[in-house]
Structure 1
Amino acid sequence: MGEFVRTTDGTGYQYTDNFIVTDEVKEQFHRDGFIILRKFLDAEEVTNLRTALEQDRALEDYHYARDDGQGRQTKTVNWSHPGDDITGMIGRSEKAAGTMEKLLGGEVYQYHAKVVMKEPFTGGAFIWHQDYGYWYLNGNLFPDMGTVWIAVDGADKTNGCLQILPGSHRAGRMDHVKVGDQAGADPERVELLAKLCPLTYVQLDPGDALFFHCNLLHRSDQNHSQNRRWAYLVCYNRASNDPVYKHHHPNYTPLIKVPNNRIKECGTKTSTEGKIFFQGPKRDRDLAIEVLERTA
C-alpha cells in the first residue's frame, strides 16, 4: 500500500479539561480527516470503562461476529441510544459529543455506539472501508458524520491497530462491495489513493482517542499477538442530517450532553436500559428466515 508506512507515534493533542477545538484543530480535521486526543480518558476513567465492559453481560448476550474472509472473526456489540451508564456518559460528555459538534460544525446525536473486541491470536481483520460507504445507504444524505474511537487496551501494529489513509476522506464516498460479512471500498481506488495518502498505523495507549470523519478510509489487521485489543466507539450524526430512511440505527434523537465529571461519577456502572442492540448480520438473516417460514 504505497512506499512509505507511518505511525501516529508522537502526534496528536494532549487532552486536558482546558482543551479547545481551535481553528488549527478544525483545519487539521478537515485536511487529514482525523485528530488524536491523547489521554482523552484519564487513568481512572479508562480503568473504570475497562472494568465495566469486562463485567457487562450485554457483551456476551448481544455480541455478533463478522467473518473477515480469512477464517477469523472479531466480536462486536452495537447499540443505539446512549443510556445513563459509563458508556453513555462518555458518549454524552462535552469532551466527546461537544468536541465532535465543533469538528462537524453543528449539533450531533448518537447514531450508535459499539465495543469491538479483538481477542489474542484469534481477532479478525477489517478490510478497507469508509463508514459512510454504508451509512449513506441508510438514508444519511450528507457525510456530516464521525466517530470517536477510544482505546480500551493498547493498540499497536502487533495486535491489529487501526490503519488509515490520511486525507482520503476528501476523495468522497466510494462504492463498496461485500467481502464475507464485511463491506469494502473499491480496491483499485484504494490502491490509487494510497500512493497519495501514505498508510498510517494508529498506535494508541489506553484512554487515547481518534476522532475521524466518516469518509476516512480505514482498516485493521488480524490480532496475531497475545495482547487483547478492545475499543469503545461512539458514532455521531449531525442533527441536520436526519436519515430519510427508517433503519436499524436511530433517526435524530436529541442528545442531552453532560459535564465530563459525570464519567467518573458513574464508576463502573453498566446498564442495558434505554439501549437498543443490533443483532448482527447472522441473527438478522435468521430472523428474516423465521418470519418467511411463519408466513409461507
Structure 2
Amino acid sequence: MGNFSLNASQIADYNRDGYIVVKSLFSTQEVEKLYHTALENSVMQKNAMDLNDQTGKKTKLSLWFTPGDDVFGYLIRSERMVNSVGQLLQEDSPVCHFHTKLMQKEPKVGGAWEWHQDYGYWYKNQFIFPDQLMSVMIALTTANKENGCLQVIKGSHKMGRVNHGFAGEQVGADMEMVNHALKTMELVYCEIEPGDALFFHSNLMHRSEANLSDHPRWSLISCYNSQTNLAYAETSTSWRVPVSIVPDHALLEWNAGSFENADFLKKENDPALKTTGWENEVKTS
C-alpha cells in the first residue's frame, strides 16, 4: 500500500455524491490485527458507552481523541489514511484528527442509528466549516443489509446543515427534511467488507438499522479536520494538532503499546448529548 493515492475520478465522486468507497484500503492481515486487538482490549471495553435507539436496542461505542502509538493510532496516522483525507478536504492546511470511534453492533441486540449528519452533532462544537470535516469508516467485519450497514442519501451533503434533535438517546435529523431528501435523492446501502474504507462528508445524511443478524458488525470511524477549521466550543485539542503521519507498514509491525492514557470521551461530557438548545429543533416521530 506504499504511496497510495486517490485518483481524480474518486475525488470527483466524493465532491458530487458526498462519499466514496475504497476497496481493500487495509489488508486482511491488518484488519485481523485491529479486530483482535479491539476484542481483547480491556481498556477499550471499559470505556465503551451504550447509546439507546428509539426501540431501546443498544449500540456500544468507544470514542477517543488523540491517536497514540498503538495499533489504532497507527491506522489513524497511516500515510494512506491521512493523505487520502487531505486530497478530499482539498485544503492547503495540515490534516488533524478530531476523534475515532470503535462501533460495536453485536448480533441481535445492536441498535439502530437514526438519520443524521455528523455536522448535526459537530455544529454544537462550533466548527465553522463543514466542508473541512469528514469521516472514514474502516470495516472490521462484513457490513451488509442483514447486520445494519450504513445507509446514505447520495448527494445530501449539498443540503447544508439540517436541524437535529433527540431520537431516543441519539441526536437525529428533522424527519420532514429527511423524507424530502429521500424523495429527491438516491438511498444507497454501503455494503463493505473488512478492510474497505468509506470516506464521507460531515453533512452527508446517513443512518443504520439494528443488527438483527447472527453476526457482529464492528467498525472504526476516524474523523478528521483541516487545521484552519476552528472549533470554538470544543474542549479537546487533537482537532487542531496536525497528524504525525506514520508509514503504512507501521501497523503490521506494531507489537506493543499502552492504551491506558487514551483520552476517552465520557457520555456525560459529550456536548451533542446535552439537551440545551436541541429540544424544539426537530420532529422525530
Q: TM-score, normalised by structure 2?
A: 0.90
1:78 partner letter: L
Distance change (3 Å), C-alpha of 1:249 and 1:219: farther
1:279 to partner: Cα distance: 1.1
Distance change (3 Å), C-alpha of 1:282 and 1:91: closer
Would the aligned equivalents of 1:87 and 1:270 in 2 still touch at CA under 8 Å?
A: no
Within the alignment, does 1:155 sit opposite 2:157 as a pair?
no
2:262 partner letter: K
Map of 1:83 onto structure 2: 68
Distance change (3 Å), C-alpha of 1:190 and 1:270: farther
Counterparts of residues 1-296 of structure 1 (less than 5 Å): 16-17=1-2, 19-106=4-91, 107-143=94-130, 144-248=132-236, 250-267=238-255, 269=256, 271-281=258-268
What are structure 1's unaligned runs of at least 5 residues? 1-15, 285-296
2:228 partner letter: S
Question: Take 1:248 and 1:95, find their aligned partners in 2: how far apart are those partners?
Answer: 25
Give the SS at the match of 1:256.
coil
1:140 to partner: Cα distance: 0.3
Would the aligned equivalents of 2:3 and 2:80 in 1 still touch at CA under 8 Å?
A: no
2:163 partner letter: D
Question: Take 1:52 and 1:206, find their aligned partners in 2: how far apart are those partners?
Answer: 15
1:251 to partner: Cα distance: 4.2
Question: Take 2:148 and 2:29, find their aligned partners in 1: how far apart are those partners?
Answer: 25
1:222 to partner: Cα distance: 0.4
Question: Take 2:2 and 2:270, find their aligned partners in 1: how far apart are those partners?
Answer: 42
Would the aligned equivalents of 1:136 and 1:142 in 2 still touch at CA under 8 Å?
A: no
1:84 partner letter: D
2:111 partner letter: G
Map of 2:280 onto structure 1: none
1:58 partner letter: V
Question: Take 2:186 and 2:225, find their aligned partners in 1: how far apart are those partners?
Answer: 27
What are structure 2's unaligned runs of at least 5 residues? 272-285
Distance change (3 Å), C-alpha of 1:17 and 1:246: closer
1:71 to partner: Cα distance: 1.5
2:8 partner letter: D
Q: Identity over the aligned pairs, expressed in percent?
A: 37
Would the aligned equivalents of 1:33 and 1:213 in 2 still touch at CA under 8 Å?
A: yes
Question: Take 1:234 and 1:278, find their aligned partners in 2: how far apart are those partners?
Answer: 14
1:270 to partner: Cα distance: 5.4
Map of 1:7 onto structure 2: none
Question: Take 2:133 and 2:269, find their aligned partners in 1: how far apart are those partners?
Answer: 26
2:202 partner letter: C
2:153 partner letter: L
Alignment RMSD, CA only?
A: 1.7
1:18 to partner: Cα distance: 5.5
1:128 partner letter: W
1:250 to partner: Cα distance: 3.9
1:19 to partner: Cα distance: 3.9
Would the aligned equivalents of 1:82 and 1:274 in 2 still touch at CA under 8 Å?
A: no
Question: Take 1:71 and 1:282, find their aligned partners in 2: how far apart are those partners?
Answer: 22
Q: TM-score, normalised by structure 1?
A: 0.86
Distance change (3 Å), C-alpha of 1:160 and 1:282: farther
Map of 2:274 onto structure 1: none
Distance change (3 Å), C-alpha of 1:109 and 1:283: closer
